[in-house]
Amino acid sequence: MPIPDVAKEKIVAALDKFDREYRNDKRWIGWEQQANQKYAIVYKRKLYPPKMIISIATGISRNNFTDGEQTNGYLRARGFTIINLE
């Protein structure tokens, strides 16, 4: 499924929402060390899970799009830095 087009500002708002509502949730603490997490967005010296951020920004489920190039390309096209966590 294609990821809906959203402006960079909507993704920045999703990053802020992640910090407020998810970062300290036990389901997301240490997400960077989980084996299934291969990439991260780097924004203002913090790491963010790319698929979760896109899901928050677009309102679509993380199950409706793929990680890797689809997700990373989408974010890079909007000016975000993606790093490999491996």
- Is 0.75 topped by the overall pTM? yes
What pLDDT does 9 receive? 97
Tens digit of each residue's pLDDT, the chain (86 residues): 789 999 999 999 999 999 999 999 999 999 999 988 999 999 999 999 999 999 999 999 988 888 788 899 999 999 999 999 97
- Cβ atoms within 10 Å, residue 52: 17
Q: In Å, what is the CA distance from 36 to each residue of 32, 68, 71, 80, 85?
A: 9, 11, 14, 21, 10
What pLDDT does 12 receive? 98
Q: Which of 32, 49, 43, 48 is nearest to 85 (CA)?
A: 32
What pLDDT does 67 receive? 79
Helical H segments across the chain, by residue range: 8-17, 50-58, 69-76
